Structure 1
Amino acid sequence: MRLLILPALLAGTALAGCASTATSEAPAVAPVTAKPEIGAFGFDVAGMDRSVTPGNDFYEFANGAWAKNTPIPADKSNYGMFTALADLSNERVRGILDEVKDDPDNMVGRTYASYLDTATVEARGLAPIQPWLAQVKALDSKAGYSALVVEAAKNGVSGPVGGYVGQDDKFPDRYIFSMYQGGTGLPDRDMYLVDNDKMKSIRTAYVAYLTKMLTLAGEANAAARAQAVMDLETKIAKVQWTREESSDAVKTYNKYALADTAKLSSATLDFPAMLKALSPKITEVLVGQPSAIKGTADILDAAPLGVLKDQMILRSMSSLSNYLPDAVSDTQFAFYGTVLQGTPQREERWKRGVAFAEGTVGEAVGKEYAARYFPPEYKAEMNKLVANVLDAMGRRIDALEWMQPQTKARAKAKLANFTVKVGYPDKWRDYTGLEIKRDDLFGNAIRSNRFDYQYMLDKLGEPVRKWEWGMLPQTVNAYANFGMMEVVFPAAILQPPFFDPKADPAINYGGIGAVIGHEISHHFDDQGAKYNEKGELSDWWTPADVKAFEAASKQLVAQYDAYEALPGEHVKGEFTLGENIGDLAGLTIAYDAYKHSLEGKEAPVIDGFTGDQRFYLGWAQVWRRNYREANLRARLLTDPHSPSIQRAWVVRNLDPWYGAFDAKPGETLYLDPAKRVRIW
């Protein structure tokens, strides 16, 4: 599955929700304004900096005044169009939750109220987590460590390996359990291994954080024990795969029979026993990074038991910090929020409560959100746009010079097999059996985590749930799912500046149209192209196709490698390749769809802007974003998307952009036609 944007680097634990009806109802009609919400035609002209030549910096030309005049709120690591819409979504959800928070018979209300009840949380202190910590500390031999890791996973506590149930990439009509590398508390292996001043300062701050967390947990000799955990994790980081390696669909497809996972095990980490304890339905497993997982198992086997227990205590305190007193949760934020992301202060309690409610009862909230804020005409207009962009992709495939005829035929078949999901699910998830108490925040979190984990395990042996969504309607994002052969657009992203039925069509095609194209093209990017017309991971391109595609991809890698996002720190072209292909192809396809929609007519000039100019301005507008330096630095390591400025610059590869803005040789973004990257 590919996302348009990456969720927060340290998102909260995924939780379950409450019971709801089996099928969706048509949302009620929401009021629609007679003119665009933004400007005269859907674009914020006042946010431009017309003193900048478009060919020198198209992002600055389109967004310079906005960037200069828009501060980052104190509770944000970055701020832009996505965050503005997320704030709007939060306010709307808050309104929904406020209406039911005092109703003891409403599960949604009880969930939200439990988070807002700070008096009870503070009064109970660490008492709610003590039974679990006592279980960790009672471990008296490594023989019991594997069982402890299983219980931790069910509780929502990260461990030495991760696991989930998903589609089998080569047999997408069935589910399989997958394992992937873990065991480190910093977001990227480079934070342990790169030897520069910034990374050294992060490591120093991390050890200080671990020390404080152990102290808060009531443990003695915290500094030395924290350093021992850091030393353990550094060893694990050395055997981990890079993000580039871990994003390769072929390299990470390694199927093991249950018994054969013993080859990856050690006396301390017994995978056959762990998998049997999780579910009797697990007979085989996909292993993402075999050498890293085997290496981690061996490292844990050589480590003292006390260090393993300390790491589990720290993982527990960190993973569950949001449900504990502020002394704990503020400490967690001070490191992960401020040190790693540069965010000065935490969000207000109600915002965190909204996030908890969405994680716990998300689809129940989403059903009401869709009813209030996503009218049927929005869905109808969006479906038209998607159909137009899909048609444009089909025409692009037909016209490709580098793709062989037999591959084109299968690519077109793949396109025809797509499922498009817009707004909200046709079937809502049923969470009957989840217990939520108004005065038990920590207990609600643990019960939800365990309920959700079991919900996931129950998929094994069942038909694939094609009705299921990977995001909530109120999430400002979009995604492509290779195995499901689907592109998905939640309601919350389908509003200005991305989509406004009252805006000029050029703005909509440059905004949400390019997003649609981005998600469609993910199915044909460096990883998505490895999945055939049935959603199966397979080798279905001819060698000539692969050679041509890889040559163009290498050009794009080199182009993005050259971008210096911070002094001395560049975009990683290989790591961001799939998303850069998505941007390049998405904008190309959306432009074709826009021109086709004009039916041979010339678009009118509006406020001095031609149709082509408005199209590209619509693209640039959605990427308005200001970053804190720490957040941008962390994203360069962990986010497979390029920074927003460089995403806007993808226009330099598109011939029509040059005509629209008269970009000339000698200007910074100008590329000779032979050097413009052309893939789809």
Structure 2
Amino acid sequence: MPNPRPLALALGLALATTLLALPAADAAKKKSGKKSTTSLVCTDFYSHANADWLAANKVSADSGMVSAMAQLGERARQQQIDLLNDDMQSAQGGVAKLLGDFWASGLDEAAVERDGANPVAPLLSRIDSIRRGKDVPAAVAALHQVGIPVLFNFGPDVDLADLGRHIGYFSQGGLGLPDPAYYTRSDADSRALLGRYTDYVSKILTLTGSKPEQLKADTQAVLDLETRIAQASKPLAALRDPRGNYALVPTAGLGKQYRSLQLDEFLKAQGVADDSVSLADPRLFAQLDALVGGLKAEQWKSYLRYHVGAAMAPYLSKAWRDVDFDFRGTVLRGETAPPPRQRQVLDAINLAAGPMLGREYVGRYLPATTRARATEIATQVRDALGRGIDRNSWMSAAAKAEAKAKLARLKIEVGAPARDLDYTVQPMGRGSFGGNMLIASTWRHREEMRRIGRGNADRRWNVLPQQPALAYDVAQNRLIVTAAMLQAPVLDMAQDAAAHYGAFGALVGHELTHGFDGVGRNVDAAGEVRDWWTPADKAAWDARTAQLATQYGAYPYPELKAKFVPGAQTREENAADLAGVELAWDALVAAQPALADTGKQWFFQGWARLWPQQMTTDVATRLAASDVHAPGQWRSNGPLADVPEFGGAFSCKAGTPMQREAAQQVKIWR
């Protein structure tokens, strides 16, 4: 199935949702005689603004957490299900019919049972035809073509020396366990996991045709080969820096350098004709080359059969799915039961044919007026950032000049990628869900390979339009807003215009500031990877974020006793939240200079109602240790306490919890 991109450079993701009700001004009028309600505005605006939501949404031990952001994701998933149901019932042709047939084939569990292992039979037959080591590379290339990466990973990503193009990245892979260290550790937990994995490999091999008398040998063949690959692979920690995964090499010499692997023929099979690729671990690929040249064909056949079975097991009959869930669901993911069938099929379609579904989703759920409104506000917030760059006191003149040049080149893309795909694909039909999965994943692999080449880096997004997301793509210097994000309550066209800025506009500001903060400083206006800040800029930025670390470090962590928000861990995202509110407010005031008090209150209501959440103590403990975002209460209240306009809108005096003294307030862009 399609594998993740080898670099983690391009996207930062923010999801948001809210349930908008009456503006605070109206609520205050209705309860003007109740001192407690009025004081709550100035002591805990989050609880005031989200009182109804918090009362209506209680967390259960099973769910662990409920939040407005998660609800938006669930709503988007239900919209996709509704769309697929309609396509299944009435689509007559085109992409809609492809999706309708795909959906119908997955929901027909009786047909899936009858189909059994038929979808993978041609792949297994191809593997069985291997007679010698020289036959292995062609089989590896063929499996990559259908979205089953074996032996190694290969996929498109940005060229770090030229962010305007994608290149192909050869990187480590080919293992059934998520960490190479699991194969070599000697501690009891790792040995136990390897034992469970061995049992899983045996069960998959049985389903793919291993005879009982040969099963133990076949299983050992797989584990031996994967252990050899793991021993030549780098630790996961060593893969976190994108620069460490990047080394440009000419494609012309790959066939001679890796004769047994035949990487030149591999690239031809994938349709890649670029003049260079990244291959950052030549030691690993030399070892893989030696394995292809040195191991017997029978061992390779066991390894390839296993990986076909493991990749396709979730999409085949119940016997396959049960084996898959018992290990990957229960052991690796800690799940207690498989998700509902509709959810399984939807996830499969998004994996293999996500851009197809995204095309239909945008057509149904993104009105032109909503797209235009989102583009208008995002453009206004971008302009506000330009004013913020001019007036801020912490940037040097040189950094301001570079920032303004970068801002001038920043692109805004709303709804879906501007460039469409080639939807030419083999008809799917309703008879074989597993077969349709292979058809769709072959199509998606083909389209991914077409990303490789000069001028193609902005061709696609790395998030689907049907997934709620708002992100700054640092590599392409662009703001991405998906169609699923542009609905109530983030951008509710029926609500007061000021609320649009407080919710959607502030999220835009949050993401745009990442192009010019401690992350964005590493890519300049020309798209080159370099630090364009001076030491003085860095020192000034660090001083501001240190103030935020102190501020948030004094906030108690919800659901945890004697535990406070980890200010140092969340400081960069806290700064982006504050910047988002500042820039959205600037954009609103510029658009509506005569803004009434009610509108001002709507703005802050919009921001606060993005973040309501309830969680168990276990979830809170985990998030406090790892999450780079503050909990919802403080994502809501923290920035507002630093903005004097909030105090003015609600008559909160300086020194109250929701209005810090002027000398204590942190400023980013104001």
TM-score (norm 2): 0.75
Q: d(CA) in 1 for partners of 2:68 and 2:76?
A: 12
CA contact (8 A) 1:475 1:492 kept: yes
Q: 1:431 to 1:290 in 2, by over 3 A?
A: same
Q: d(CA) in 1 for partners of 2:409 and 2:384?
A: 15
Q: What amino acid is aligned across from residue 77 of structure 2 in structure 1? A: N
Aligned pairs (5 A) from 1:341-352: 341-352=333-344
Please report how far the alpha carbon of residue 76 of structure 1 lies from its aligned counterpart in structure 2 after TM superposition: 7.1
CA contact (8 A) 1:74 1:344 kept: no
Residue of structure 1 in register with 2:13 after alignment: 4
Q: d(CA) in 1 for partners of 2:266 and 2:288?
A: 13
Q: d(CA) in 2 for partners of 1:547 and 1:228?
A: 51
Q: d(CA) in 2 for partners of 1:366 and 1:419?
A: 21
Residue of structure 2 in register with 1:15 after alignment: none
Residue of structure 2 in register with 1:408 after alignment: 400
Q: What amino acid is aligned across from residue 455 of structure 1 in structure 2? A: E
Residue of structure 2 in register with 1:40 after alignment: 22
Residue of structure 1 in register with 2:88 after alignment: 101
Aligned pairs (5 A) from 1:164-179: 164-179=155-170
Q: 1:92 to 1:460 in 2, by over 3 A?
A: closer
Q: d(CA) in 1 for partners of 2:154 and 2:439?
A: 19
CA contact (8 A) 1:175 1:460 kept: yes
Q: 1:589 aligns with which of 570, 583, 587?
A: 583
TM-score (norm 1): 0.74
Q: What amino acid is aligned across from residue 170 of structure 1 in structure 2? A: A
Deviations 1:570-621 (A, max 9, x none): 9999998876664454344334434555537563389xxx567525413423
CA contact (8 A) 1:411 1:533 kept: yes
Q: d(CA) in 1 for partners of 2:185 and 2:425?
A: 47
Q: How many pairs are equivalent?
A: 637
Q: What amino acid is aligned across from residue 404 of structure 1 in structure 2? A: S
Q: What amino acid is aligned across from residue 443 of structure 2 in structure 1? A: F
CA contact (8 A) 2:560 2:617 kept: no
CA contact (8 A) 1:55 1:663 kept: no
Q: 1:633 to 1:328 in 2, by over 3 A?
A: farther
Residue of structure 2 in register with 1:442 after alignment: 434
Q: 1:227 to 1:171 in 2, by over 3 A?
A: closer
Higher alpha-carbon Rg: 2
Q: d(CA) in 1 for partners of 2:593 and 2:504?
A: 20
Deviations 1:208-259 (A, max 9, x none): 54454344445423996499369728945972342xx645444444322236
Residue of structure 1 in register with 2:526 after alignment: 534
Please report how far the alpha carbon of residue 78 of structure 1 lies from its aligned counterpart in structure 2 after TM superposition: 5.8
Q: 1:344 to 1:553 in 2, by over 3 A?
A: same
Residue of structure 2 in register with 1:29 after alignment: none
Q: d(CA) in 1 for partners of 2:549 and 2:183?
A: 26
CA contact (8 A) 1:89 1:474 kept: yes
The answer to whether 1:221 aligns with 2:208 is no
Q: 1:647 to 1:538 in 2, by over 3 A?
A: farther
Residue of structure 1 in register with 2:410 after alignment: 418
CA contact (8 A) 1:386 1:516 kept: yes
Deviations 1:464-496 (A, max 9, x none): 375644444322223333343321212211122
Residue of structure 2 in register with 1:397 after alignment: 389
Q: d(CA) in 1 for partners of 2:114 and 2:156?
A: 38
Residue of structure 2 in register with 1:115 after alignment: 106
Q: 1:357 to 1:231 in 2, by over 3 A?
A: closer
Q: d(CA) in 1 for partners of 2:653 and 2:185?
A: 43
Q: 1:149 aligns with which of 140, 145, 160?
A: 140
Residue of structure 2 in register with 1:474 after alignment: 466
Please report how far the alpha carbon of residue 122 of structure 1 lies from its aligned counterpart in structure 2 after TM superposition: 0.8
Q: d(CA) in 2 for partners of 1:677 and 1:204?
A: 55
Name the % identity: 26
Q: For 1:435, what is the secondary structure of its paired residue? A: coil
Q: 1:247 to 1:324 in 2, by over 3 A?
A: same
The answer to whether 1:257 aligns with 2:250 is yes
Residue of structure 2 in register with 1:14 after alignment: none
Q: 1:201 to 1:522 in 2, by over 3 A?
A: farther
Query: What runs of 5+ residues in structure 1 fail to find an aligned partner?
Result: 7-35
CA contact (8 A) 2:500 2:603 kept: no
Please report how far the alpha carbon of residue 91 of structure 1 lies from its aligned counterpart in structure 2 after TM superposition: 3.0
Q: d(CA) in 1 for partners of 2:558 and 2:230?
A: 30
Q: For 1:177, what is the secondary structure of its paired residue? A: strand
Residue of structure 2 in register with 1:26 after alignment: none
Please report how far the alpha carbon of residue 2 of structure 1 lies from its aligned counterpart in structure 2 after TM superposition: 0.7
Residue of structure 2 in register with 1:28 after alignment: none
The answer to whether 1:321 aligns with 2:313 is yes
Query: What runs of 5+ residues in structure 2 fail to find an aligned partner?
Result: 1-9, 28-35
Deviations 1:399-443 (A, max 9, x none): 333322122122112112122122245554331243323213222
Q: What amino acid is aligned across from residue 4 of structure 1 in structure 2? A: L
More helix by share: 2
Q: For 2:88, what is the secondary structure of its paired residue? A: coil
Residue of structure 1 in register with 2:365 after alignment: 373
Q: d(CA) in 1 for partners of 2:661 and 2:194?
A: 41
Root-mean-square deviation (Å): 5.3
CA contact (8 A) 1:79 1:627 kept: no
Q: What amino acid is aligned across from residue 113 of structure 1 in structure 2? A: A
Q: What amino acid is aligned across from residue 181 of structure 1 in structure 2? A: Q
CA contact (8 A) 1:4 1:479 kept: yes
Q: 2:375 aligns with which of 352, 370, 383?
A: 383
Q: d(CA) in 2 for partners of 1:643 and 1:198?
A: 33
Q: d(CA) in 1 for partners of 2:209 and 2:185?
A: 32
Q: d(CA) in 1 for partners of 2:418 and 2:307?
A: 37
CA contact (8 A) 1:2 1:522 kept: no
